[in-house]
Structure 1
Amino acid sequence: MNQAIALLGFVTNPLELVSFVLALCNVALNIRQSHWAWLFAIVSSATYGMVFFHSRLYGDMGLQLVFIVVSAWGWYQWLRGAANGAQLPVTRLAGRGWALAGAGWLLGFAVLAWFLQTYTDTDVPRADGFLTAGSLLGQLLLSRKKLENWHIWIVVDVLYVGLYLYKNLMLTAILYAVFVVMAALGLRAWKGAADGAAADAMVLK
């Protein structure tokens, strides 16, 4: 699964190609708020973990393992995470939530960059650490159906395009460029859902 193949003028491998397709399905289903997105998230995380291992992106590799665990939790949250045990609605972060999210991202970046620099042979410890921490934050917010997860993903995905170009993961760089567009679409779709949920809540009051 790791042998090189030529595709659209650049070199990739079957494992990266399979991961590419699975990840696209995952994000498309996230936009539609389908809980089946989490199944694709689990499988694509497993395959991308192997892709990143071969590219010495150990932060991203470890992140995929965390994603598998968080995806199982997120699947449950989407189906039963509301206070009454019903499906979780789309909501927004409060001001305190933004502050905690920002602090968590910075703390995660500091710890991961130090770990990668000290204990691995990666040549991009700071970039890998920063984007790994941001991706984990985005996944946690996605699991709780917070609208702001899409803001995080837009920033992270734009930066990942540059990192994967540098690591010569051309197909994955293209994937993350597509992710930027899909995240913008997700933000728009979820904003409508959040506004609708807020309006319903006001009516119920």
Structure 2
Amino acid sequence: MNDPLALFGLIHTSLLEIVSFALALAMVILNIRQSPWAWLFSIASAALYAVVFYDSKLYGDMSLQFFFIAVSLWGSYQWLFGGVSHHGVQVSRLTPKGWLHSALAWLIGFVAIASFLRLFTDTDVPHIDAFLTAGSLVGQLLLSCKKLENWHVWIGIDLLYIGLYLHKNLYLTALLFALFVVMAVIGLRTWKKSLANQNIATS
């Protein structure tokens, strides 16, 4: 399933990457719509992408997929039963303290992951892999809590991922992340409207 093939005679990919691509695309569309079904697609896509990234020696990204699976289970609970009333969390903004905690988590994650990748793997991109992996961990946690700023994180992360995946000849995945950038911008605008409507409803 992970054997190489040429898509339309132009993009070299694999059936596994194509399926992972489709599932990830559906996941982001559902995230924008704030549908809890997004987490099911997240789990399926992450499981398949773990194999894709292992074959490409992107071990940070591979490990990230297992974290995505765990956070997806927690995120689905938060979206369905979280919040004070246990009817699901609503869109909210990060506080200054939340920004600080997110930045510190990103930094600590980067240092820890980069050190591990340099010492114990044969990856040729330990630092950018670690930086993007740590950032993705932060973005996924913010998404699970329905923090508006998760879209800011994903826009920056996805832009950098495009270059990394082109370097690793994962052209279809690079295209996916280019689409993710556009969709993250749409998600940001959509969630801003949702937050504004919530504020009107509670005022």
Normalised TM-score (structure 2): 0.98
1:129-164 alpha-carbon deviations (Å, 9 max, x no partner): 000000010000000000000000000000000000
- SS of the aligned residue for 2:175 comes to helix
- SS of the aligned residue for 2:6 comes to strand
Q: Is residue 2:61 matched to residue 1:60?
A: yes
Q: RMSD over aligned Cα, in angstroms?
A: 0.7
Q: Is residue 2:94 matched to residue 1:93?
A: yes
> What is the match of residue 113 of structure 2?
112
In structure 1, what is the Cα distance between the partners aligned to 2:197 and 2:88? Answer: 15
> What is the match of residue 5 of structure 2?
5
- Residue identity opposite 1:104 in structure 2: A
- Residue identity opposite 1:81 in structure 2: G
Q: Which runs of 5+ in 2 are unaligned?
A: none
- Tell me how far 1:194 sits from its aligned partner: 1.1
- SS of the aligned residue for 2:39 comes to helix
- Tell me how far 1:198 sits from its aligned partner: 2.2
In structure 2, what is the Cα distance between the partners aligned to 1:95 and 1:3? Answer: 47
In structure 2, what is the Cα distance between the partners aligned to 1:3 and 1:134? Answer: 30
- Tell me how far 1:26 sits from its aligned partner: 0.2
> What is the match of residue 39 of structure 1?
40
> What is the match of residue 18 of structure 1?
19
Instruction: Using the TM superposition, name which of 99-108 and 27-36 deviates more.
Output: 99-108
In structure 2, what is the Cα distance between the partners aligned to 1:91 and 1:197? Answer: 9
Instruction: Using the TM superposition, name which of 158-167 and 95-104 deviates more.
Output: 95-104
Instruction: Using the TM superposition, name which of 99-108 and 171-180 deviates more.
Output: 99-108
Q: Is residue 2:136 matched to residue 1:139?
A: no
**Superposed counterparts of 1:72-87, under 5 Å:** 72-87=73-88
Q: Which runs of 5+ in 1 are unaligned?
A: none
- SS of the aligned residue for 2:161 comes to helix
Normalised TM-score (structure 1): 0.97
- SS of the aligned residue for 1:88 comes to coil
- Tell me how far 1:4 sits from its aligned partner: 1.2
> What is the match of residue 152 of structure 2?
151
- Tell me how far 1:195 sits from its aligned partner: 1.5
Q: Percent identity?
A: 57
In structure 2, what is the Cα distance between the partners aligned to 1:78 and 1:140? Answer: 12
In structure 1, what is the Cα distance between the partners aligned to 2:142 and 2:189? Answer: 16
1:77-109 alpha-carbon deviations (Å, 9 max, x no partner): 000111111121100001111111111111111
- Tell me how far 1:199 sits from its aligned partner: 2.5
- Tell me how far 1:2 sits from its aligned partner: 1.2
> What is the match of residue 170 of structure 1?
171
- SS of the aligned residue for 1:121 comes to coil
In structure 1, what is the Cα distance between the partners aligned to 2:198 and 2:134? Answer: 30
Q: Write out the 4+ residue segments of structure 1 that deviate beyond 4 Å after TM superposition.
A: none
- SS of the aligned residue for 2:26 comes to helix
> What is the match of residue 186 of structure 1?
187
- Residue identity opposite 2:89 in structure 1: L
Instruction: Using the TM superposition, name which of 192-201 and 101-110 deviates more.
Output: 192-201
Aligned residues: 202
